């Protein structure tokens, strides 16, 4: 018997949340034996199963070559089962059975990086979320089937490291050249959390004693030369373990915790039980090789995957529609962790910037979907900014509303009720409500609806009555697939400033849910409502949505002068930043005069630099061209935005004048003891370099060349290299070559080298082609692909012209080789229909042509949605 299940999958199948049915069989125990050979891998599985409800015994499996199947020791023949490209259905299955299967798979040819795959010469790893396990063996591969796993891994001795989840219980040899290890995971888990690693890797060890006294062995595996770059991740891991004990009362539950760094990986990292697998870009960190932003990201991803141990693993999702249950909550947790790590305001600024740059546009285009969708074709297409980032915002809103203590009581109740279960968003809201004694059920609407609500607020001052009234109104754009849109609960954090003194008024009103005198939260949960404050002796400057208390588009009748005053008066760093961003958006998109902005920034900058260089660096942000473009719904002309933004930056450079060089020379990252502040100083110095370059002062190239030569820090080196390369300085080619020379064996640094050139302001078809023809360009490594696409996306003018062909060609190739990555690349073109003609039609035709060629569910579903506008 030798049946191959290999044909192309059907493409039509939409799956609906309303069709959810409980699993028919439970798996009490699974015993896996994975034998890796150079040209195939043999997988033997024994499943102890027990019927739970009526229905067929259906085992999912894809691209598996079935060698044998037995039930309770009896070999089955073809009339005992049905086999197609997606599943193995056992006919007349008994109530209780031991199911044994033997299959052959080919990880050595697996380019999709899903299931078990070879990731370079000396390494095999798994990626099973969401549906990779069915590419390893036949199994009820769904998150609500939890089982106890025992795993035997066998390979050649040239792969000394053999890992799987849980505890190592046995090792031994097979003949002269092979060896094996047996691992037992004591906790029940869904198949998507299964992992194994077979490779030639070195390890960094440490340990951590939990609040319960458990001594946990910590191990980070990477190739030998990268081990010195694992210390920051190790510290972050220990820090995360402590943080989860202190903030959520959650200690770790196993005796070991392993992390494996892999360079060929589709996304950031994966929270497999006790055996996380990470993209190298999210674990390796060293100031000499890694930018400050990347170091911050490593720490947040380490925390994210660690936090999944409770929010995701111990309590998992009933079905994949509930993905944001684990992701939204875990992102909120990692964001809170990072706020404790560096400046809370700057972390919030960075997180909101990501939300607005990615989630808002996604939610305003054809790929818009609720955080919890009610249907999908390919679940891999729903690992989106909406599920992750908007999901996090929903949890943040509830936490803001509850305050620390009640929120903690709510999460305690969630863990008490659901530990060991596979649950839904409703279960989360119910537990949080019960524990906190606050009814949060209205927040379910946030999970079930697409679109960014528009929050319109008008402030009215009545001098006679000394009262100030705020009129609130919320609305959502109609959505074809989700017609039934309701108002959502919007927590509005607010303060009122006296325009002359900058003092905050005391706020008194019964409708305020949280109120510590001058800072309060108002819960706006109707279509329209008003709020009136008494005892306000001047027309105040209202600061709304402080700390970005809800993921909405705020439309408030601030004057530009009000925004300038907020930059000066606000003690909430986030709202200071937001004031500058709103002002700049008005200047760049609505032709407001820029002078108020220049006056405000020159007046406040010196003192903020002295006090908080990191915050100062963010206050100099100018919204990116792609963000500005995403705010335009029709007749979008990328060149126009580009020209306006360039003009503003040139003007800013002129206004700041000599100050730029003074600031640059006065700051020294080496004298900053605190990493955050050093990071701020480095960012400020790089911003100043770019402004000096805009002043046409050629001495900037000497400064940059010096910085490039003197510094051992990657943020400083790259910042300097950018100035040289992007301005075509005479030193540029030598510096680029030197950088390549130094880092050619450092894949992540080389990604930066590709990114920097792909984002050259004058990049063109030829320069991009030269990069993709470079010997180090590698289509098997998503990080390298994204270095070039990321560079293109940094310039909408490029992305929407010659970039389109690059995206389309890549997507056509990846459709077959790696459809997960292929579909994701296309998402950045989702707002094509907003372009002005003739560009709009050109891009449309290119997408339509691609649509006629592609096969994978991933790319087909993405293109179908994108073109259905
Ligand atoms: N669960 C992972 C996380 O958020 C993300 C994930 C899902 C993933 N599918 C993946 C990562 C595929 C890598 C590859 O932490
Ligand atoms: Zn996650």
Output the residue whose Cα is nearest ligand 1's atom 3: 270
Would you call 353 exposed, middle or buried from its count of C-beta atoms within 10 A (0-12, 13-18, 19+)? Answer: middle
Ligand 1 atom with the shortest distance to the CA of 388: 4
pLDDT at 333 over 70: yes
Three-state DSSP class for residue 588: helix
- DSSP state, 78? G
Per-residue pLDDT for 843 more than 80?
yes
CA-nearest of 869, 866, 857 to 377 is 857
Confidence of residue 361 (pLDDT cuts 50, 70, 90): very high
List domains and CATH numbers for the chain. 1-200 (2.60.40.1730), 316-448 (1.10.390.10), 454-557 (2.60.40.1840)
| Residue 675 to residue 680: CA distance in whole angstroms | 9
The residue contributing the CA closest to ligand 1 atom 5 is 270
**Mean pLDDT within 453-458:** 98
Confidence of residue 342 (pLDDT cuts 50, 70, 90): confident
Q: Give the per-residue pLDDT at 553.
A: 98
Q: 45-71 burial string, b = 16+ CB within 10 Å, else e?
A: bebbbeeeeeeebbbbbbbbbbeebeb
pLDDT of amino acid 12: 60
- Ligand 1 atom index nearest CA of 304: 15
pLDDT in tens, 756-796: 999 999 999 999 999 999 999 999 999 999 999 999 999 99
Residue 329 clears pLDDT 70, i.e. is over it: yes
Cis bond leading into 130, ω under 30°?
Answer: yes
SS (H, E, C) 592-632: CCCHHHHHHHHHHHHHHHHHCHHHHHHHCCCCCHHHHHHCC
Average the pLDDT over 514-543 and give the result: 96
With 60 as the cut, is the pLDDT of residue 330 above it?
yes
Of 284, 340, 198, 327, nearest in space to 748 by CA:
284
List residues bridging with 550 in a β-sheet.
none
Burial pattern 243-254, b for ≥16 Cβ within 10 A else e, equals bbeebbebbbbb
Q: How far is the CA of 2 from the centre of ligand 2 (A)?
A: 38
Alpha-carbon distance 148 to 146, whole Å?
7
How many residues are listed for the chain in this entry? 869
* Alpha carbon nearest to ligand 1 atom 15, residue: 270
- What value does the mean pLDDT take over residues 838-860? 98
Q: How far is the CA of 458 from the centre of ligand 1 (A)?
A: 42
pLDDT, tens digit, 9 for 90 and up, residues 602-645: 999 999 999 999 999 999 999 999 999 999 999 999 999 999 99
Which one, of 386, 370, 381, lies nearest residue 17 by Cα? Answer: 370
C-alpha 366/C-alpha 451 separation (Å) is 11
The whole-angstrom distance between residue 777's C-alpha and the CA centroid of its chain comes to 24
How remote is the CA of residue 128 from the centroid of ligand 1, in Å?
9
- From the alpha carbon of 383, which atom of ligand 1 is closest? 7
Strands 57-60, 41-51: pairing kind: unpaired
CA of 308 relative to ligand 2 center, distance in Å: 7
Read off the DSSP letter of residue 18: G
Ligand 1 atom showing the smallest separation from residue 301 Cα = 15
Please give the Cα distance from 258 to 34 (Å, whole number). Answer: 20
**Longest Cα separation, the chain:** 95
pLDDT digits (tens, 9 = 90+) for 648-662: 999 999 999 999 999
pLDDT of residue 384: 98
266 CA: nearest ligand 1 atom: 14
pLDDT value at position 481?
87
CA distance 207 to 623: 43
Check whether 5 has a pLDDT greater than 60.
no
* Whether the predicted pLDDT of 8 surpasses 60: no
Give the C-alpha distances (Å, rounded to integers) separating 231 from 214, 226, 277, 572.
Answer: 22, 10, 17, 33
Q: CA 747 to CA 749: how far, in whole Å?
A: 6
CB 812 within 8 A of CB 849: no
Interhelix angle 344-354/323-341, rounded to 10 degrees, is 140
For residue 336, report the distance from its CA to the centre of ligand 1, in Å.
20
User: Is the per-residue pLDDT at 2 higher than 70?
Assistant: no
**Which listed ligand is nearest to 328 at the C-alpha?**
2
Distance from Cα 327 to the centre of ligand 2, integer Å: 5
Instruction: Check: CB of residue 260 under 8 Å from CB of residue 278.
Output: yes
Give me the mean pLDDT over the 484-500 stretch: 97
Pocket test for ligand 1, best of 189, 195, 267, 326 (most atoms within 8 A of CB): 267
Q: Write the pLDDT tens digit of every residue in 562-595.
A: 999 999 999 999 999 999 999 999 999 999 999 9
Atom 7 (ligand 1): residue with closest C-alpha?
129
3-state secondary structure 511-563: CEEEEECCEEEEEECCCEEEEEEECCCCCCEEEECCCCCCCCEEEECCCHHHH
Q: Which of 114, 305, 393, 570 is catalytic?
A: 305
The predicted-structure confidence for 32-83, as pLDDT tens digits, reads as follows: 999 999 999 999 999 999 999 999 999 999 999 999 999 999 999 999 999 9
Rounded to whole angstroms, the Cα distance separating 492 from 487 reads 14
Distance spanning both ends of the chain, measured CA to CA: 49
Which ligand sits nearest to residue 334's alpha carbon?
2
Mean pLDDT of the chain: 97
Residue in 127, 280, 309, 312 to alter for ligand 1 test, most ligand atoms within 8 A of Cβ = 127
Q: Distance from the CA of 358 to the center of ligand 2, in angstroms?
A: 17
| C-alpha span between 707 and 310 (Å, rounded) | 45
Q: Which of 321, 349, 325, 317 is nearest to 335 (CA)?
A: 349
Residues near 416 by Cβ (< 8 Å), separated by ≥ 6? 431, 435
Rounded-to-integer distance, Cα 511 and Cα 508, Å? 9
> 477 near 490, Cβ under 8 Å?
no
Put residue 352 in one of left, alpha, beta given phi > 0 → left and psi -120 to 50 → alpha. alpha
Q: How many CA atoms lie within 13 A of 558 on its CB side?
A: 25
Rounded Cα distance between 720 and 756, Å, is: 11
Strand, helix or coil at 377? coil
Inter-axis angle of helices 292-307 and 231-248, to 10 degrees?
Answer: 50
Q: Which ligand is nearest to the CA of 130?
A: 1
What residue owns the CA closest to ligand 1's atom 6? 270
Active site residue 305: yes
3-state secondary structure of 423: strand
pLDDT value for 7: 40
What's the CA angle centered on 451, arms 447 and 455, to 5 degrees? Answer: 100
The neighbour count for residue 685, using CB atoms within 10 Å, is 24
Question: Is the model's pLDDT at 127 over the cut of 80?
Answer: yes
- Integer CA distances (angstroms), 570 to 111, 502, 587, in order: 51, 8, 21
Pocket of ligand 1 (CB under 6 A): 127, 129, 266-267, 269-271, 304-305, 327, 383
State the closest ligand 1 atom to the C-alpha of 271, by its place in the atom list counted from 1: 15
Residue of 133, 270, 335 best suited for mutating to test ligand 1, as the one with most atoms within 8 Å of CB: 270
Q: Which tens digit of pLDDT belongs to each residue from 676-733?
A: 999 999 999 999 999 999 999 999 999 999 999 999 999 999 999 999 999 999 999 9
- What is the radius of gyration, based on Cα positions, of the chain? 28
Q: What is the pLDDT of residue 514?
A: 86
SS3 192: helix
Q: Report the separation in Å between the CA atom of 305 and the middle of ligand 2, taken as the mean of its atom positions.
A: 6
**In the predicted structure, residue 282 carries a pLDDT above the cut 80:** yes
This prediction's pTM: 0.97
Mutate which of 130, 324, 383 for ligand 1 pocket (most atoms within 8 A of beta carbon): 383
Whether residue 9 has pLDDT greater than 90? no
């Amino acid at each position: 018997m030798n049946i191959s299940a290999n044909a192309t999958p059907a493409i039509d199948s939409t799956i609906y949340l309303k069709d959810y049915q409980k699993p028919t069989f439970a798996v009490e125990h699974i015993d896996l034996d994975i034998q890796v050979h150079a040209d195939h891998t043999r997988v033997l599985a024994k499943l102890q199963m027990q019927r739970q409800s009526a229905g067929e015994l259906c085992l999912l499996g894809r691209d598996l070559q079935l060698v044998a199947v037995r039930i309770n020791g009896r070999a089955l023949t073809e009339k005992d089962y049905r086999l197609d490209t997606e599943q193995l259905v056992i006919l007349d299955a008994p109530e209780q059975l031991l199911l044994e299967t033997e299959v052959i798979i080919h990880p050595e040819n697996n380019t999709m990086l899903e299931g078990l795959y070879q990731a370079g010469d000396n390494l095999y790893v798994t990626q099973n979320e969401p549906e990779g396990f069915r590419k390893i063996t036949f199994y009820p591969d769904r998150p609500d089937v939890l089982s106890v796993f025992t795993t035997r891994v066998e390979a050649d001795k040239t792969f000394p490291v053999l890992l799987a989840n849980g505890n190592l219980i046995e090792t031994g040899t097979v003949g002269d050249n092979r060896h094996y290890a047996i691992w037992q995971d004591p906790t029940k888990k869904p198949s998507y959390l299964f992992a194994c690693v077979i490779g030639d890797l070195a390890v960094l060890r440490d340990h951590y004693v939990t609040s319960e006294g458990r001594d946990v062995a910590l191990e980070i595996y990477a190739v030998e030369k990268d081990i010195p770059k694992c210390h920051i991740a190790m510290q972050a891991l220990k820090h995360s373990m402590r943080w989860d004990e202190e903030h959520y009362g959650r200690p770790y539950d196993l005796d070991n915790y392993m992390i494996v760094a892999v360079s060929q990986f589709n996304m950031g990292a994966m929270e497999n039980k006790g055996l996380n697998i990470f993209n190298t870009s999210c674990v390796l960190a060293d100031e000499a090789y890694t930018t400050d932003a990347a170091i911050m990201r490593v720490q947040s991803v380490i925390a994210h995957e660690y936090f999944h141990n409770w929010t995701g693993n111990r309590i998992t999702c009933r079905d994949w529609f509930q993905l944001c249950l684990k992701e939204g909550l875990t992102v909120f947790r990692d964001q809170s962790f990072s706020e404790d790590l560096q400046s809370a305001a700057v972390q919030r600024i960075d997180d909101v910037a990501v939300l607005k740059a990615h989630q808002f546009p996604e939610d305003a285009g054809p790929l818009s979907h609720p955080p919890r969708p009610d249907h999908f074709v390919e679940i891999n297409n729903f690992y989106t900014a909406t599920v992750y980032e908007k999901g996090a915002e929903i949890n943040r809103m509830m936490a803001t509303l509850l305050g620390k203590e009640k929120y903690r009581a709510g999460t305690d109740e969630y863990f008490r009720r659901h530990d060991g279960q596979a649950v839904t968003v409703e279960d989360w809201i119910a537990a949080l409500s019960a524990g906190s004694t606050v009814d949060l059920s209205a927040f379910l609407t946030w999970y079930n609806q697409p679109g960014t609500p528009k929050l319109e607020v008008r402030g009215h001052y009545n001098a006679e009555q000394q009262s100030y009234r705020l009129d609130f109104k919320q609305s959502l754009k109609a959505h074809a697939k989700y017609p039934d849109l309701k108002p959502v609960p919007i927590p509005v954090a607010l303060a009122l400033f006296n325009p002359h003194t900058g003092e905050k008024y005391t706020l008194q009103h019964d409708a305020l849910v949280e109120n510590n005198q001058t800072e309060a939260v108002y819960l706006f949960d109707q279509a329209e409502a008003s709020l009136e404050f008494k005892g306000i002796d001047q027309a105040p400057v209202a600061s709304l949505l402080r700390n970005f208390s809800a993921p909405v588009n705020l439309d408030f009748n601030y004057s530009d002068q009000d925004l300038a005053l907020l930059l000066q008066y606000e003690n909430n760093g986030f709202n200071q930043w937001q004031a500058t961003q709103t002002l700049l958006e008005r200047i760049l998109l609505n032709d407001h005069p820029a002078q108020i902005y220049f006056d405000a920034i020159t007046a406040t900058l010196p003192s903020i630099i002295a006090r908080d260089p990191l915050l100062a660096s963010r206050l100099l942000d100018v919204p990116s061209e792609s963000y500005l473009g995403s705010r335009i719904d029709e007749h979008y002309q990328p060149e126009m935005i580009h020209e306006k933004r360039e003009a503003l930056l040139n003007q800013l450079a002129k206004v700041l004048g000599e100050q730029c060089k003074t600031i640059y020379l006065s700051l020294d990252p080496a004298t900053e003891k605190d990493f955050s502040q050093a990071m701020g100083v480095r960012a400020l110095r790089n911003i100043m370099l770019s402004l000096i370059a805009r002043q046409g002062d050629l001495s900037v190239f000497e400064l940059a060349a010096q910085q490039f030569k003197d510094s051992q820090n990657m943020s400083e080196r790259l910042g300097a290299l950018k100035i040289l390369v992007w301005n075509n300085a005479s030193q540029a080619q030598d510096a680029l070559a030197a950088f390549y020379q130094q880092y050619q064996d450092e894949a992540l640094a080389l990604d930066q080298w590709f990114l920097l050139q792909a984002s050259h302001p004058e990049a063109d078809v030829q320069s991009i082609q030269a990069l993709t023809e470079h010997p180090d360009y590698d289509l098997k490594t998503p990080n390298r692909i994204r270095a070039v696409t990321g560079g293109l996306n940094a310039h909408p003018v490029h992305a929407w012209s010659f970039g389109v062909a690059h995206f389309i060609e890549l997507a056509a190739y990846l459709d077959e080789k790696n459809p997960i990555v292929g579909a994701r690349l296309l998402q950045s073109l989702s707002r094509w229909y907003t372009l002005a003609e003739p560009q709009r039609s050109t891009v449309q035709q290119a997408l339509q042509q691609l649509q006629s060629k592609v096969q994978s569910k991933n790319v087909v579903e993405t293109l179908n949605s994108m073109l259905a506008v």
